[in-house]
Amino acid sequence: MADDDSLLPLALTRRSLLLGAGAVALTPLPGLAAAPQGFDQWREAFRARALARGISEGTYIRVMSRLEPDMSVFKKMQKQPEFHEQLWQYINRRCSDWRISAGKVALQKHGALFSRIEKDFGVERGTLLALWGVETAYGDPLVQQNHMKPVFPSLAALAWNEPRRKKYWETELINALRIVDKGWSTPNEMRGSWAGAMGHTQWMPEVWLNVGFDYDGDGRVSPFGKPDDALGSSARFLVKRGKYRRNEHWGYEVTGASNVAGSRSYAQWAAAGVARADGQAFPRPNDTAQMWTPVAGGPSFLLGQNFYAVKSYNPSMNYALAIVHLGDRILGGGPFRQPFPGSERALTLAEVQEVQTRLTKAGFDTGGTDGRVGNDTMKAVKDFQTRAGLQPADGYAGLKVLARLRQGL
């Protein structure tokens, strides 16, 4: 299959800020090709700290005694893929034809679960479906197989040798050890991103421990396997940490945008001449919202509290907009009424597959031809754009790239 949408960098970005640790610019550390001396000494010293935090000696020995640090995490930290996407490109990739179609299939398969979550937590099914789809392609086992690796070697390397956030990584390593101590998982099962995010909705160990709960009643808390615990607990996260409000929609695309800052009720916005872009009435006129126009000349939105609840999952306005829009699209909504300046429509699934197939035949590695655009496909597109003299060489698989591929180099 093709690689999924910027999965691993996204997981780190969210967790870096989500858990109260600010992102920092990393400078190269010397000697990272192989483990520097001192890991054994650190491991022995860390044993005392872990045991003092309640980790059993048996668990520590089981997990840590023969563990070798995964030094590749530092290269991944420093060399994230760089694709300078405009917002419309970012939205198009995450609200792709494949992801909308697959989301509808996931809803059909797990409809009873989403109904139960809506009843218990009030979180709209579209929001959770979109989170699930963006994070792990609706739990596709190939994402787990191809993009995830054992988290303990990664966390141990970071806890030992990442100087700027040493305390944070040590704490997450202890959290991971506590999960094993509780019998919720095993070191072999605990596979995730290089930063330690795991399962259907990419939990860090802290989230697993403090927000996760046994929603399927099997006696343990797990973000793997059946999606019940992952989705139910993610809904709980949105409510507890994001202050998600039952029965409120995230907001709406609007016209007649006002430059007035601050929060007003929908009724007050309507009185000021602001209307929904689809022409319908605001269903809850007393709810409050704020105006946001992300790109001058593009669509404007009234954002309610539930938009910011999604933003608590990843501290990016663009991410939150992609999630809520994807959720609407899965449930039958259409594209934004007002296009972004310079934007083009998203490719259909068949068109994306055609781009991947033509790139592959031309000698560029897209990672597969399944219609899912991720870092491999974006790199292949960027390399093709460079060779063909297309500017900007931004890695975006769009109509212009497809047209040039059809013409040949």
Can you say how many angstroms the Cα of residue 68 is from the centroid of all Cα atoms in its chain?
28
pLDDT number for residue 14: 41
- What kind and span of H or E run contains 212? none
Domains of the chain: residue spans and CATH: 7-79+146-229 (1.10.8.350), 349-407 (1.10.101)
Both structure tokens of 248: 């409120």
- Lowest model confidence (mean pLDDT) among 2-11, 18-27, 161-170, 359-368: 18-27
Can you say how many angstroms the Cα of residue 146 is from the centroid of all Cα atoms in its chain?
16
Q: For residue 96, is pLDDT > 90? A: yes
Confidence bin at 164 (pLDDT 50/70/90):
confident
Question: What is the pTM for the complete model shown?
Answer: 0.88
Q: Tell me the per-residue pLDDT of 273-314, one tens digit each, with 9 for 90 and over.
A: 999 999 999 999 999 999 999 999 999 999 999 999 999 999
125 vs 133, 252, 360, CA distance in Å?
12, 17, 37
Backbone angles phi, psi at 342, to 5 degrees: 75, 10
What's the first-to-final CA gap in the chain, in angstroms? 25
Q: Tell me the per-residue pLDDT of 45-65, one tens digit each, with 9 for 90 and over.
A: 999 999 999 999 999 999 999
3-class secondary structure, 393: coil
Query: Pairing mode, if any, of strands 251-255 and 300-303?
Result: antiparallel
Residue keyed to tokens 């929904």: 276
Residues 254-259, mean pLDDT to the nearest whole number: 85
pLDDT number for residue 76: 77
DSSP string, 117-149: HHHHH---HHHHHHHHHHHHTTT-HHHHHHH-E
Q: Tell me the per-residue pLDDT of 212-244, one tens digit each, with 9 for 90 and over.
A: 999 999 999 999 999 999 999 999 999 999 999
Confidence bin at 143 (pLDDT 50/70/90):
confident
Q: For residue 20, is pLDDT > 80? A: no
3-class secondary structure, 339: coil
Q: For residue 37, is pLDDT > 90? A: no
Both structure tokens of 32: 């990272």
DSSP state of 164: G
- What kind and span of H or E run contains 265? strand 263-265
pLDDT number for residue 35: 46
Backbone angles phi, psi at 345, to 5 degrees: -65, 155
Q: For residue 386, is pLDDT > 60? A: yes
3-class secondary structure, 252: strand
Average pLDDT, the chain: 89
- Lowest model confidence (mean pLDDT) among 15-19, 174-178, 219-223, 242-246: 15-19
Residues 124-152, mean pLDDT to the nearest whole number: 92
Q: Nearest CA to 191 among 228, 142, 237?
A: 142
> Is the preceding omega at residue 392 within 30 degrees of 0, hence cis?
yes
Confidence bin at 103 (pLDDT 50/70/90):
very high
Q: Tell me the per-residue pLDDT of 72-91, one tens digit each, with 9 for 90 and over.
A: 988 877 655 555 789 999 99
- At position 123, the amino acid (one-letter code) is V
pLDDT number for residue 4: 47
The HSE-up count of residue 1 (CA atoms within 13 Å, CB side) is 16
Q: Which residues make beta-bridge pairs with 60?
A: none
pLDDT number for residue 23: 34
Output 155-159 pairs: Cβ under 8 A, ≥24 positions apart: 155/196, 155/205, 156/39, 156/43, 156/64, 156/67, 156/69, 156/70, 157/35, 157/69, 157/70, 157/71, 157/73, 157/74, 158/73, 158/195, 158/196, 159/46
pLDDT number for residue 374: 84
Both structure tokens of 408: 């040949």
pLDDT number for residue 9: 37
Both structure tokens of 389: 């003299």
- What kind and span of H or E run contains 90? helix 87-94
Q: Most distant CA pair in the chain: distance in Å?
A: 68
pLDDT number for residue 267: 97
